[in-house]
Chain A
Amino acid sequence: MADMIKDHILDRPNSYIGRSVPRPNAKRLLSGRGTFTDDIKLPRMTHVAFLRSHFAHAEIVSIDASAAKESDGVVAVVAGVEMAEVCAPWVGVLSHLEGLKSAPQHALAVKKASWQGEPVVAVVAHTRAQAEDAIELIDIEWKELPVVTDMETALEDDTPVIHPDLGDNLAWRRNLDVGDVDAAFANADHVIEETYISNRHTGVCLETRAILADYNPGEDQLTIYHSTQAPHMMQSLFAKHLDIEEHKVRVICKDVGGSFGIKVHSYPDEYATVALAYMLKRPVKFIADRLESFTSDIHARDHRITTKIAVSNDGIIQAMEIDDLTGIGPYSVYPRTSGIEANQVVNLTGGQYQHENYRAQATVVYQNKSPMCQYRAVGHPILTLITEGIVDDAARAIGMDPLEIRRKNLVPDDAYPHKSASGMPFENLSHQASLEKLVKMMDYDGLRKDQAAAREQGIYRGIGLATFIEVTNPGPAFYGVGGAPISAQDGATMRLDAKGNVIVEIGVTEQGQGAEAVVAQCAATALGVTMDKIKVISGDTDITPYGGGTWGSRAAGIGGEAAVQAGKALRQNIVEVAGIMLQSDPTTLDIRDNNIVDIADGTERMTLAEVGRVCYYRPDTLPKDYQSELVVTRHYVPKQFPFAFTNGVQGCYIEVDTNTGFIEFKKYCVVEDCGTVINPQLVDEQVRGGVIQGLGGALYEECLYSPEGQILNGTMADYLVPMAAEMPDIEVGHIESPTLDSELGAKGAGEAGTGGAPAVVMNAINDALHPLNAKVTVQPFTPERILQALGKI
């Protein structure tokens, strides 16, 4: 394509880039006409329910399902051994996480169950209720095994080993030691140590996990409707473990009712559902109920981190050291593994600051609780909590304002490209500009005055600041290099139809964040058509180009760029044939507002509908040696950097009621730099929604377990998530530092809000409580923990 159109996507006339266009696909949802997986019914459809282990760790001595098989409406009862003949087990490791080990995991437990909620027996019946009735009739003889729940003792000699073949309960350990950490601490003016705890919580998608599989032996075709973030990954995994050719497996992802990383993993009950459809040759639907969600969705963020920071009298950070311990349940989750969260903590802690001495250890251990894996902002809420927690610790130790210590230590905006102490490459960040913008937005000095005045009256208010970095637009370095079947690149196919409308098929998927709208904006702008001419299709492995789906804040940056390049290429093809029809030099033509126009003065020459009509219906009027091509596909993967890091800063002002431990938000501001902003409203709403989800983990959410490994709050009445009344309005500002890795320059925006929220609220609480010599370090920062910190209970 030597004569490829040279114009830049950000210079297009009538551009949709940077405009708050409403999402075209949102209207059906407002009418109750979405298609979530549970909304789909197929002929001869059956429902599966799972008997799950009541015990956290127990051997299956025998299973008697004879009564269940006779129960009304029952089609099949299948346990682990029979299931294993159809669905091969998996091991959740990646080669680039060297040393990570895990045990083979089955779709249904074989021999023993290793967490409360592990699926053991599947019952398929005409209705879900009938399947649940039959489960009551199954008699399992269990032999309880000693339970490993406390990650602190998981590696001790007298702790039982969950998987004897692994030798111990250690999943993975990583050590990093950069610079001369010992010397830096030995020579430091101040060394501050603290231990932070982030407790286990989970995503609580309002739509639970959902899958409907059908197998047609006549064409050897598996069709799977799945509420998932990564259709092509799931296609590959289902094909592999059922030993079917990949092109015989079609994964269709319609509307997804929240995902947040919960639906980017593969789950035993979902393999089992697909295998049952294959075995029974008819549709099988599995919809997790809410208790199943709490015990079988991945959990996340159960970490204990000891930290140490060296700081000079004038506030220069000289060294950081962290030791992270995390318990991930009994298996490393397949295929992304449960080592990534700790890996992020090692790689990214302190990455926004200039310091050259850094030591980190991560220890990842097995335990008999629900498996842990990646959830929105993977690792960032933890590593931002400890980074910004210890920086505030350092500031307090030397009597410096938290704003000043950040001003002194953030990597300067003119220092890029820059590598962090841990070796992470940063292309172009804006910590200083973002911080100064935030300071203005929140009126930092004014808040300090208000805080002082309030304290005179015995009212305790605090300011929190949290700067952050965030991994987005991941390339193959994240999973592909480790052996996972996860596409790093995504494609867009664009087709001009005979009436001048455009179909865009895209590999990234929609979970409500607006991926399809953003792709439509990019495609419309690159091609030169209005948004109403564009229809975007996503979430179907038979139709869309191969792609990675939506996770890691990649949909807009990677899917958007693929759409840009496809749009430009289609425009090239269209003006070429238009040039023939108009007997004009195609380099003098452009497409604007659905018309072929002269570049020079915008004169309309022909409609796109006319181009479509001639190319499809009257190609006889074109030269005999010319073939028009009105379908193009283009792909994109970031190549210059392994990830596009973003940055930002959050600031909040809160009031702590020292009698009740309740906190009230007085102000909440965020400055985010996600490069080119394609749709400001959608970006702002990602930030807001992300912050609130982060505040859930910071203030309310915790999966509580008994010492026996029994979950204690498996309902949404007991497990609290943010509700409207307590949550603040959030002011969002932007700095734009585009990535030069793509023409569009967009980085991801979906996770940064979540990543920074726990740190900013913890710092605000501790700022408020400082005069009372009280401090919280255990998340969630509940009223009870605040009152404990105050010594009141």
Chain B
Amino acid sequence: MTNQIEQIQVTTTVNGEKVTALVEPRTNLVDFLRNQMELTGTHVGCEHGVCGACTVRIDGEIVRGCLMLAIQADGLEVVTIEGSDDSGEIADLQKAFHERNALQCGFCTPGMLMAITEMLEKNPDPSRQEIREYLSGNYCRCTGYEAIVDAIETVANTRKGA
């Protein structure tokens, strides 16, 4: 046999659950999450860190799952769309997206929701142009973005009033 690659033990917290796994040093975080953790809600789009489909949260900050190695997550806390969905923290965003049809194929949507969650934490009252600029790291080929901007505006306004 050739090309055998040594695996390294990683201990991380994924969506609140402690996980210890053996991974190849070259394995991207997103491949680890999708293939080993079977968290398939995080998607692979460009593999270059530009499209945002693989966006997850690590220790409170969003990162590109395709630009980070799984072994770099050792000791850190990872939250994926499955975790955000289960906790209910994005329920209002999901509802607004559904009502406004702010998704079509839905491939970009999990990454989009992770990015928007962070944006609204940092800027609870964004203008439409601020929303658009923040979303420039998340590509959507279907909607043309306007419905997404509308849905975010709705949520921001509702949260403000709450």
List which B121-160 residues lie within 8 A (CB) of chain A.
128-129, 131-133, 135-136, 138-149
Contacts of A354 in B (CB 8 A): none
Question: Interface residue count for B (Cβ, 8 Å)?
Answer: 62
* B105 with A258: CB separation less than 8 A: yes
Q: CA–CA, A730 to B81, complex, Å?
A: 30
Asked if A67 is at the interface of the complex by the 8 Å CB criterion, the answer is yes
Question: Whole-angstrom distance between the alpha carbons of A207 and B42 in the complex?
Answer: 12
Q: List 7 A-B contacts (CB under 8 A).
A: A23-B98, A129-B24, A681-B100, A716-B48, A716-B51, A724-B133, A724-B138
Find out whether the CB atom of A29 lies under 8 angstroms from the CB atom of B3.
no
Which B38-78 residues sit within 8 Å CB-CB of chain A?
A: 38-51, 53
Would you call B144 and A692 a contact (CB within 8 A)?
yes
Partner of B85, one of A32, A134, A693, A722: A32
Chain A facing B: main interface SS: loop
| A719 shortest CB reach to chain B, Å | 10
Stretch at the interface among A138-146, A465-473, A484-492, A511-519: A511-519
- A residues less than 8 Å from B38 (CB atoms): 41
A60 to chain B, nearest CB (A): 24
Q: Specify which of B101, B105, B129, B146 is in contact with A257 (CB 8 Å cutoff).
A: B105
- Residues from chain A with Cβ under 8 Å of B1 in the complex: 70-72
Contacts of A39 in B (CB 8 A): 34, 40
Partner of B145, one of A34, A259, A290, A727: A727
Cβ contacts under 8 Å, A129 to chain B? 24, 26-27
Residues of A within 8 A of B100 (CB): 681
A715 proximity list for chain B (CB < 8 A): 46, 48, 50
Asked if B17 is at the interface of the complex by the 8 Å CB criterion, the answer is no
Q: Is the CB of B141 within 8 A of A727?
A: no
Using A26-B98, A31-B85 as known contacts, list a sample of 7 further A-B pairs with CB atoms less than 8 Å apart, ordered by residue number in A.
Answer: A26-B106, A30-B85, A30-B94, A32-B110, A203-B141, A681-B100, A688-B143
Q: How far is the CA of A691 from the CA of B85 in the complex (A)?
A: 31
Instruction: Give B14 Cβ to nearest chain A Cβ, in Å.
Output: 13
Q: Are the CB atoms of A22 and B99 closer together than 8 Å?
A: yes
- A34: nearest chain-B partner, CB-CB: B106
Kindly state the separation between the CA atoms of A32 and B131 in the bound complex, as whole angstroms. 22
Q: Say if the beta carbon of A704 comes within 8 Å of chain B.
A: no
Whether B48 and A725, one on each chain, are in contact in the complex, defined by CB atoms closer than 8 angstroms, is no
Asked if A30 contacts B98 (CB within 8 A), the reply is yes
Q: Let me know if A459 is at the binding interface, CB within 8 A.
A: no
Cβ of A736 < 8 Å from any Cβ of B?
Answer: no
Q: Is the CB of B107 within 8 A of A258?
A: yes
Minimal beta-carbon separation of B146 from chain A (angstroms): 5
A729: chain B residues at CB < 8 Å are: 128, 146, 149
Q: Is the CB of B81 within 8 A of A134?
A: no
Do A32 and B42 contact each other (CB < 8 Å), given the known contacts A133-B3, A512-B142?
yes
A792 at the binding interface (Cβ < 8 Å): no
In the complex, what's the smallest C-beta–C-beta distance from A217 to chain B, in angstroms? Answer: 28
Q: Which residues of A contact B104 (CB under 8 A)?
A: 258, 511-514, 685, 689
With A26-B101, A689-B143, A717-B50: A32-B80 Cβ-Cβ less than 8 Å: yes
Within the complex, the shortest CB–CB distance from B136 to chain A, in Å, comes to 4
Q: Which residues of B contact A242 (CB under 8 A)?
A: none
Contact of B48 among A133, A257, A290 (CB under 8 A): A290
Residue B89 at the A interface, CB < 8 A? no
- Cβ contacts A753-784/B at 8 Å (1 or 0 each): 00000000000000000000000000000000
| Nearest-neighbor residue (CB-CB) of B138 within chain A | A724
Which residue of B39, B42, B144 contacts A730 across the interface (Cβ within 8 Å)?
A: B144
Query: Of A27, A41, A685, A721, which is within 8 A of B147 by CB?
Result: A685
Assuming A133-B3, A685-B143, A721-B141, is B106 touching A30 (CB within 8 A)?
Answer: yes
- Tell me whether A207 and B85 are in contact (CB under 8 A): no
CA distance A723 to B47 in the complex (A): 17
B29 interface residue, CB < 8 Å from A?
A: no
A512 touches B47 (CB 8 A): no
The total of Cβ contacts below 8 Å across the A-B interface reads 189
* Residues of A582-620 contacting chain B, CB below 8 A: none
Is B144's CB under 8 angstroms from A206's CB?
A: no
- Chain A residues with Cβ below 8 Å from B149 are 724, 729
Does A341 belong to the interface (CB within 8 Å)? no
Residues in B whose Cβ lies below 8 Å from that of A207: 43, 45, 105, 107
Q: Which residue of B lies closest to A67 (CB)?
A: B2
Counting from the closest, the 8 A-B pairs by CB-CB distance are A32-B41, A29-B106, A257-B107, A692-B144, A512-B105, A32-B81, A512-B104, A39-B40
Residue A260 is within 8 A (CB to CB) of chain B in the complex: yes
A22-B98, A685-B147 known; A33+B41 contact, CB < 8 A = yes
Shortest distance between the CB of B50 and any CB in chain A (Å): 5
Chain A residue numbers with a CB within 8 Å of B42 are: 32
Interface size class of chain A, counting residues whose CB lies under 8 Å from the partner chain: 35 or more
- Partner-A contacts on B (CB < 8 A): 1-5, 24, 26-27, 34, 38-51, 53, 80-82, 85, 94, 97-101, 103-110, 113, 128-129, 131-133, 135-136, 138-149
**Complex Cα–Cα for A722 and B110 (A):** 19
List residues of A whose CB falls within 8 A of some B CB: 22-23, 26-27, 29-36, 38-39, 41, 67, 70-72, 129-130, 133-134, 137, 203-207, 255-260, 289-290, 511-514, 681-682, 685, 688-693, 715-717, 721-725, 727, 729-730
Given A31-B81, A682-B101, answer yes or no on A727-B144 (Cβ-Cβ < 8 Å): yes
Chain B residues near A289: list those with CB within 8 A: 47
Q: A133-B3, A727-B132 are in contact. Are A681 and B46 (CB under 8 A)?
A: no
Report A56 CB to chain B, min CB distance, Å: 24
**Are B103 and A30 in contact, CB atoms less than 8 angstroms apart?**
yes
B144: chain A residues at CB < 8 Å are: 685, 688-693, 722, 727, 730
Contact A512 B139 (CB under 8 A): no
Minimum CB distance partner of B42 in chain A = A32
Interface centre among B39, B44, B135 (most CB of A within 10 A): B44
Q: Which residues of B contact A130 (CB under 8 A)?
A: 3
Q: Which of B82, B98, B140 contacts A32 (CB 8 A)?
A: B82
The reply to whether A725 and B109 form a contact with Cβ atoms under 8 Å apart is no
**Which residues of the other chain, B, contact A514 by a CB distance below 8 angstroms?**
101, 104
Most chain A CB within a 10 A radius of its CB, from B46, B101, B135, B143: B101
**Distance, CA A205 to CA B100, complexed state (A):** 22
Closest to A291 in B: B47
**Cα distance A31–B15 in the bound complex, in angstroms:** 14
Q: Which residue of A lies closest to B83 (CB)?
A: A32
> Is A717 a contact partner of B41 (Cβ separation < 8 A)?
no
CA distance A725 to B140 in the complex (A): 12
In the assembled complex, how far is the CB of residue B112 from the closest CB belonging to chain A, in whole angstroms?
Answer: 10
Tell me, in angstroms, the Cα distance from A256 to B43 when the chains sit together: 12
Candidates B105, B139, B146; contact of A721 at CB < 8 Å:
B139
Are A255 and B3 within 8 A (Cβ)? Answer: no
A72 touches B141 (CB 8 A): no
Q: Determine if A725 and B136 form an interchain contact, defined as CB atoms under 8 angstroms apart.
A: yes
In the complex formed, the residue of A with least CB distance to B27 is A129
Tell me the nearest residue of chain B to A696, going by C-beta. Answer: B141
Which of B41, B48, B49, B136 lies at the interface centre, i.e. has the most chain A CB atoms within 10 A of its CB? B41
Q: B3 touching A72 by the CB < 8 A rule?
A: yes
Cα–Cα distance between A269 and B87 once the two chains are bound (Å) = 41
Nearest CB in chain B: distance from A730 CB, A: 6
Q: Is the CB of B3 within 8 A of A205?
A: no
Among B44, B94, B148, point to the contact of A31 (Cβ < 8 A). Answer: B94
Asked whether B139 lies within 8 Å of A255 as measured between CB atoms, the reply is: no
Residues of B within 8 A of A67 (CB): 2
CA distance A130 to B53 in the complex (A): 24
B141–A206 CB distance below 8 A = yes
Given A70-B1, A688-B144, A693-B144, are A29 and B103 also a contact pair (CB < 8 Å)? yes
Is B141 in contact with A258, judged by CB distance below 8 angstroms? yes
For B53, the chain A residues whose CB sits under 8 A away are 206
Chain A contacts for B142, CB-based, 8 A:
258, 512-513, 689
